[in-house]
């Protein structure tokens, strides 16, 4: 019999909260009679988190864990957890007790009974300072506009996935913020949302610094670009190059006609501002074309160029 739920928990210096979080999850699983596993991914903690995980795993055979040599980031931890997960439904949550395990049955049912590919939590009522909530609202708005996925809270750590979804995507950098978008570009379009409880932090301090304000938008642009043009970069760079070269060519054509047939006594073409605008436009156009060609050559040798996800086979 296959496992019903894999709970993937990335963590960094959360030793105080782990025993309480484990007991809470186990209580929910036993009440609902779920078969489960709990995967603790220690992202290079400097406190006693790993010793706590070892102690918990000795008491509960459903607990597995790994510890990174150093801190690689939440995306790396989730990626490793996804590779290890065996449950039909994979649920991620943070280790700081701000995500409630009481939400697990509802998320599981939305995946199994309503056939969602991804269900993202929505912390409608947050217990965070304005310095965190305001930028979050702006990021969520930008993510909705760019990805076309209408979710209120892309960055909520509490999410549920079909196992096939987590095996079909790759996380790196800070891509964990936009897993729904990665799932969409991988061909999983049934993405839902569930209002979840958000609890005030009980132990420790937040592990996210000001760099997320810069990394978030950059990663969003990367996700959107790779999703649309990852296998066909020339379609983007070629279009941009054609546009810029066309602008330059039209300006040069206009200057030539003007000098030869309309204002023959006018100043030299090389003395006119339009000439340099045309020249720069044509050079930029050629550069875009060359970038597209180089990208295609690199993609030609990629091991994933002809990697396609197969849903069914006879």
What pLDDT digit, counting tens, does each position of 125-178 carry? 776 666 666 777 887 888 888 888 888 888 888 999 999 999 998 888 778 888
Please report the pLDDT score of residue 20 as a whole number: 94
Average pLDDT across the chain, whole number: 86
Average pLDDT for 81-89 = 94
- Rounded CA-CA distance 296/239 in Å is 14
Poorest-confidence range of 5-9, 42-46, 211-215? 211-215
Q: Which of 255, 225, 240 is nearest to 292 (CA)?
A: 240
Looking at the chain, the number of H-run helices and the number of E-run strands are 10, 7
Please report the pLDDT score of residue 143 as a whole number: 83
Q: Under a CB-based contact definition with an 8 Å cutoff, are residues 70 and 56 in contact? A: no
What are 5's strand-pairing partners?
36, 89
Q: Which of 262, 292, 258 is nearest to 275 (CA)?
A: 258
Q: Under a CB-based contact definition with an 8 Å cutoff, are residues 174 and 212 in contact? A: yes
For residue 308, pLDDT over 60 is answered with no
- Would you place residue 310 in the very low, low, confident or very high pLDDT band (cuts 50, 70, 90)? low
For residue 227, pLDDT over 80 is answered with no
Please report the pLDDT score of residue 136 as a whole number: 75
Please report the pLDDT score of residue 219 as a whole number: 74
- Would you place residue 305 in the very low, low, confident or very high pLDDT band (cuts 50, 70, 90)? low
- Would you place residue 103 in the very low, low, confident or very high pLDDT band (cuts 50, 70, 90)? very high
Q: Under a CB-based contact definition with an 8 Å cutoff, are residues 291 and 247 in contact? A: no
Poorest-confidence range of 96-100, 154-158, 210-214? 210-214
- Would you place residue 211 in the very low, low, confident or very high pLDDT band (cuts 50, 70, 90)? low
SS3 state at 193: strand
Please report the pLDDT score of residue 231 as a whole number: 75
Percent of the chain whose pLDDT exceeds 70? 88
- Would you place residue 306 in the very low, low, confident or very high pLDDT band (cuts 50, 70, 90)? low
- Rounded CA-CA distance 73/75 in Å is 6
Q: How far is CA 312 from the centre of its chain?
A: 26
Give the CA-trace dihedral at 74, 75, 76, 82, to 10 degrees: 110
Q: Would you give the DSSP letter of residue 7?
A: E
- Would you place residue 104 in the very low, low, confident or very high pLDDT band (cuts 50, 70, 90)? very high
Summarised one tens digit per residue, pLDDT across range 256-279 is 888 888 887 767 787 888 889 999
- Would you place residue 217 in the very low, low, confident or very high pLDDT band (cuts 50, 70, 90)? confident
For residue 314, pLDDT over 80 is answered with no
- Rounded CA-CA distance 256/171 in Å is 52
Do β-strands 89-92 and 5-11 pair in parallel, antiparallel, or remain unpaired? parallel
Q: Mean pLDDT: which of 55-64, 168-177, 222-231, 303-312 is highest? A: 55-64
Do β-strands 159-162 and 191-195 pair in parallel, antiparallel, or remain unpaired? unpaired
- Rounded CA-CA distance 162/123 in Å is 21
Please report the pLDDT score of residue 218 as a whole number: 75
For residue 38, pLDDT over 80 is answered with yes
- Rounded CA-CA distance 252/246 in Å is 10
Phi and psi angles of residue 197, each rounded to the nearest 5 degrees, phi first: -75, 140
Structure tokens at 276: 């340099």
Average pLDDT for 282-290 = 93
Do β-strands 159-162 and 118-122 pair in parallel, antiparallel, or remain unpaired? antiparallel
Kindly give the residue spans of alpha helices, DSSP state H, lying in 60-154.
Answer: 74-84, 104-112, 130-147
């Amino acid at each position: 019999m296959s496992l019903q739920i894999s709970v993937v928990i990335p963590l960094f210096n959360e030793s105080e909260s782990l025993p309480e979080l484990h007991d809470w999850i186990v209580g929910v699983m036993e009440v609902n009679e779920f078969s489960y596993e709990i995967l603790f991914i220690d992202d290079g903690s400097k406190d006693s988190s790993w010793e706590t995980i070892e102690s918990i795993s000795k008491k509960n055979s459903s607990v597995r864990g790994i510890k990174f040599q150093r801190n690689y980031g939440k995306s790396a931890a989730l990626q490793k957890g996804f590779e290890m997960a065996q449950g039909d439904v994979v649920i991620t949550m943070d280790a700081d007790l701000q995500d409630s395990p009481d939400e697990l049955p509802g998320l599981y049912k939305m995946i199994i009974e309503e056939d969602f590919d991804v269900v993202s939590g929505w912390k409608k009522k947050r217990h965070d300072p304005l310095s965190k909530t305001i930028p979050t609202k702006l990021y969520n708005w930008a993510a909705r506009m760019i990805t076309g996925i209408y979710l209120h809270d892309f960055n909520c750590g509490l999410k549920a996935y079909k196992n096939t979804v987590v095996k079909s995507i790759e996380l790196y950098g800070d891509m964990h913020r936009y897993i729904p978008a990665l799932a969409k570009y991988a061909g999983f379009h049934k993405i839902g949302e569930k209002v979840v409880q958000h609890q005030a932090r009980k132990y420790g301090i937040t592990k996210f610094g000001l760099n997320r304000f810069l990394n978030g938008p950059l990663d969003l642009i990367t996700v959107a670009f790779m999703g649309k043009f990852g296998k066909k970069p020339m379609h983007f760079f070629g279009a941009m190059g054609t546009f810029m070269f066309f602008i330059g060519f039209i300006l040069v054509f206009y200057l030539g006609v003007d000098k030869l047939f309309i204002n023959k006594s006018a100043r030299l073409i090389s003395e006119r501002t339009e000439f340099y605008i045309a020249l720069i436009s044509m050079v930029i156009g050629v550069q875009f074309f060359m970038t597209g060609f180089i990208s295609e050559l690199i993609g030609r040798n990629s091991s994933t160029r002809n990697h396609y996800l197969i849903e069914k086979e006879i």
